Amino acid sequence: AKAHDRGKCVLFKDDMRDKILNSIQMSSLLRTALDQNLFSLVYQPILELNTMTVSGVEALIRLNDSDGRPVSPMVFIPYAEQHGYISSISEWVIKTAAQQTSDWRRLGFDNLRMSINLSGKCLTNSAVVNTLQKYVKACRLKPEAFDLEITETAIIEDLDLSLNILDELKALGFSISLDDFGSGYSSLTYLNKLPIDTLKIDREFISQIQNEEDELHLLSAIINLAHQLGLRVLAEGVETETQLNYLIRQGCDLAQGYYFCKPVPSEEAERFIASRGFN
């Protein structure tokens, strides 16, 4: 589905109730959501495949429109990036995720890592470094508690500046993942240049695994290449046991997806983490 259609934002949902929000409605929705704290975060567990325990969670933002119907972040995040809302939304996400991480620390989930999606727009302004440091400090956490998920499309807009900001974040102790690898603009050139720790293989790739006997040469090559570069490999969108077994055999390090757990509110994530154990 397309997020933008001449200023109209198409809301796509699984059912047939697609709804169109025009630019004015979208702006007003985002402003209200920021003023009245209407955003929420859901958390999807990430599993360490060696131990099958939880190594962290990815925070994903949620928003309902005034009728209570969900608006996809794939629609409102790009809109927010283009209309000046993204830094406020990012700050809200960072603050909320940091508070949750600190709550979980208090519950004893010691090394659980919080993955946050950082919009590329944030990487063109060094303010994000201060914002991250501010909430890490306020919640008495260490940067190591966070993993910042970035995409290549974002970075290549202003490579030099983004690289500087990423190097700074990396030096502070934040860990960095390259999200959606294998989709769209993926280019091997950046793998060497970017200070990344983890390669997240895009769901598109994972969905190609249909049988355990499949030979997906490109997928194997990506996993091997990542390992040779000293990166960890995370498979996203794992939906079946077949895919899981395949990935384990290929030496993939981490996985997340509906097969394990959907993105869920904090209490539910907490129960999942407690039942699986964490590392």
Backbone dihedral angles phi then psi of residue 24, each to the nearest 5 degrees:
-65, -45
**CB 181 to Ca ion: min, Å:** 8
Neighbours of 215 (CB within 10 A): 7
Three-state DSSP class for residue 181: strand
110: tokens are 């010691």
End-to-end CA distance of the chain: 38
| C-alpha of 214 from chain center | 28
String of contacts with Ca ion for each residue 135-174, x by CB under 5 A: --------------x-------------------------
Q: For the CA atoms of 201, 164, 95, 73, what is the dihedral angle to 10 degrees?
A: -40
237, amino acid identity: G
d(CA 233, CA 225): 10
d(CA 149, CA 179): 6
Whose Cβ is closer to ligand C2E: residue 56's or residue 237's? 237
Question: 247 touches which of ligand C2E, Ca ion, none (CB within 5 to 8 A by kind)?
Answer: none
Report yes or no: 114 and 57 within 8 Å, Cβ to Cβ: yes
Contact with Ca ion (CB under 5 A) among 48, 81, 91, 180: 180
Query: Which range binds ligand C2E by CB under 6 A, 7-15, 213-221, 236-244, 245-253?
Result: 236-244
String of contacts with ligand C2E for each residue 24-63, x by CB under 6 A: --------------------x--------------xxx--
119 is a site residue for ligand C2E (CB under 6 A): yes
**CB 86 to ligand C2E: min, Å:** 7
Question: 77 touches which of ligand C2E, Ca ion, none (CB within 5 to 8 A by kind)?
Answer: ligand C2E
String of contacts with ligand C2E for each residue 194-213, x by CB under 6 A: ---------x----------
Q: Which residues bind ligand C2E (CB under 6 A)?
A: 44, 59-61, 72-74, 77, 93, 117, 119, 149, 179-180, 203, 236-239, 257-258, 263
